[in-house]
Amino acid sequence: MNSNNPLSKKNEEALSQLSPFEIKNELIELAKADARKSNSAFLNAGRGNPNWIATDAREAFFLLGSFALAECRRVYTDEPGIAGIPAKDGSADRFEKFLADNATAPGADLLTKAYRYMVETLGADRDELAYEWAEGIIGDQYPTPPRILKYTEAAIRPYLAQEMGNRAAGGGKEYDLFATEGGTAAMCYVFDSLQANHLVKRGDKIALMAPLFTPYIEIPELDRFNFDVVTVSANEVEKDGYHHWQYPESELDKLRDPSIRLLCLINPSNPPSYRLSDDNMKTLVDIVRKDNPNLIIVTDDVYGTFAKDFKSLMYVLPYNTLCVYSFSKYFGATGWRLAVVAAAQDNVCDHLIATLPDAEKEDLRKRYESLTLDVPHLKFIDRMVADSRDVALNHTAGLSTPQQIQMSLFALKCLLDTEDVYKGKMQQMIHDRLDTLWENTGFKQFDDDLRVGYYSEIDFMVQATKVYGEDFAKWLAATHNSLDVTIRLAKETATVVLNGSGFDGPEWSIRTSEANLDKDAYAVIGKKIRQILDEYYAEYQASKK
């Protein structure tokens, strides 16, 4: 960045070529410099990292770790600092005694209820469960099976059914899960395996539902993929002059083209943080059933738990949909790197692999022949596990076992929360911050049950038109670069937001995260956003004179 004049058109045009998350680093430096100079508070609303954590599942994790260490010391303690590894026989009896002896310890209540739920509701074998938990949290063995531990999968299946909109169905056993190092790893594995298995090829036509998280925009542009991208846009301004962030039928109808092999979306969106409407869902079902039955859908549903009455496409179009779900945002666990890929046991990927030309089947036989004598019946999700370690290292694949145990405890926490107390608190906190932001901008915000509020996308040009008229908006577009808003907020008000254009959003939009600052900070940010608009208007009036 040109430190002498970061607001120069030349500098802004150069920065606009970067990802918003790379621009963010420049904005942070500007904002910190302004904070030092003006004694203003440095406010970073540019990233979606939560400023909360779920405590009880972590307390249960550390208490379980104490039991597991005791299990290791049972084996031998002849050398200081060295112990054995857990033993299975009798582990359940010892675990139950440990829970009784530590009934008042932090995390004991959740750990006890989680254990009982696994045994009594999900049918877990007592010794198998206690042993998997002890050995898993100690991390003394490779993950086995590599795809996901037996009881980790047993816990997360009903959690996904509950949180992704299929609570009435119960256990969710119709899905296979692959535990991954966060949602970003899941994205990489999905793209890699789709290509490795000839389901999408370099130059193929794929569709992205925009606005969306930047890696989904950037990965298809890599030379190894070089996909022909069709954008399905929710950027349209409605008749009332505002964005409602749903997809017009004219946009969704693009997906009726059967040459589109893959569709990627984030639901609820990132940004602007709205869940898909029932009408959009029905249209997608109609498109798949009538026009594009082999469409592969990848839905990233990390924000689904923040939405009221959420329903994932994984349960609306299970045959066609791979779901990526991350535990990072809901539980304040981005550093844990916890996610799963879910695939229905009857799915389009396995079907398409079975119908590949003979030459491509032979290529895949050679690729996976070291894993099984029956390559044709190797599931796509298991191919994904192998591909994550270049096949040859499949035996060392998988998410680390301590991570899997923490993920299980997060899931069990919510399965036991039958009144959705935690969910209600999370949703209320996010909406309080969102409402505070918008109230202090003075911009109009409609009541909308589809709005989730984890992020907010503010189209500066829409607000410029609504507040000061079309002539002003035309002047603003003609005289300033759209990135000017985010740079000016950083340079003049010590506030960091991201440019919405980098997410395939409207050119003049800005994205704020409502996750990483306290409520009072959003009052300040809202006022500063309005301040910038008013300053532009003052420039406009001066230019008229």
pLDDT of 19 reads 74
pLDDT in tens, 83-98: 999 999 999 999 999 9
- Overall average pLDDT of the 148-158 stretch: 97
Mean pLDDT score of the chain: 94
pLDDT over threshold 80, residue 13: no
Cα atoms found within 13 Å of the Cα of residue 31, Cβ hemisphere only: 25
The helix/strand/coil state of 509 is strand
- Is a pLDDT exceeding 50 seen at residue 2? no
The stretch 16-25 carries a mean pLDDT of 75
| Cβ atoms within 10 Å, residue 95 | 25
Structure tokens at 466: 């609504």
Task: Check residue 105 and report its DSSP letter.
Answer: S
User: 10 pLDDT exceeds 80?
Assistant: no
H or E stretch at 57: helix 56-75
Q: Is the torsion defined by CA of 87, 125, 63, 141 positive or negative?
A: positive
* 47-80 residue pLDDT tens: 899 999 999 999 999 999 999 999 999 988 778 8
What are the pLDDT digits (tens) for 290-333? 999 999 999 999 999 999 999 999 999 999 999 999 999 999 99
For residues 166 and 313, the answer to whether their CB atoms sit within 8 Å is no
CA distances from 390 to 57, 322, 386, 398 (A): 34, 21, 6, 12
Q: Give me the pLDDT at residue 80, please.
A: 84
Token look-up 């301590």 returns 402
Res 4: pLDDT: 58
Give the pairing of strands 296-300 and 228-233.
unpaired
Answer whether residue 18 shows pLDDT above 80.
no
pLDDT tens-digit profile of 240-256? 999 999 999 999 999 99
Is the pLDDT at 1 greater than 60, yes or no?
Answer: no
Contact 418, 293 (CB under 8 A): no
Q: What is the pLDDT of residue 22?
A: 81
Give percent of the chain with pLDDT exceeding 90: 87
Q: Is the pLDDT of residue 414 over 90?
A: yes
Contacts with 497 (C-beta within 8 Å, 6 or more apart), sequence order: 27, 45, 46, 486, 489, 510, 511, 512, 525, 529
23: confidence class by pLDDT, cuts 50, 70, 90: confident
**Contact between 308 and 427 (Cβ < 8 Å):** yes
Contact 356, 344 (CB under 8 A): no
Q: How confident is the model at residue 38 (pLDDT cuts 50, 70, 90)?
A: confident
Range with the lowest mean pLDDT among 31-40, 97-106, 195-204?
31-40
Rg (CA), the chain: 25
Contact 162, 169 (CB under 8 A): no
Please state, in angstroms and rounded to a whole number, the distance separating the CA atoms of residues 86 and 71. 5
DSSP 396: G
With cut-offs at 50, 70 and 90, classify the pLDDT of residue 544.
confident
* Residue 301 half-sphere exposure toward CB, CA atoms < 13 A: 26
Question: What digits encode the pLDDT tens for the residues 196-224?
Answer: 999 999 999 999 999 999 889 999 999 99
Which residue type sits at 257? Answer: D
426: nearest Cα among 410, 404, 446: 410
**Mean pLDDT on 155-176:** 86
Which residue reads 């249960």 in tokens? 60
Task: Look at strands 228-233 and 205-210 and give their pairing.
Answer: parallel
* Residue 10: exposure state from Cβ atoms within 10 A (0-12, 13-18, ≥19): exposed
Among 214-223, 346-355, 405-414, 453-462, the minimum mean pLDDT is found in 214-223
Query: Quick one: pLDDT at residue 6?
Result: 65
Q: How far is 306 from 239, CA to CA, in rounded Å?
A: 28
CA atoms within 13 A on the CB side of 217: 20
- In angstroms, the CA 376 to CA 353 distance is 8
Backbone angles phi, psi at 484, to 5 degrees: -60, -35
157-163: average pLDDT: 96
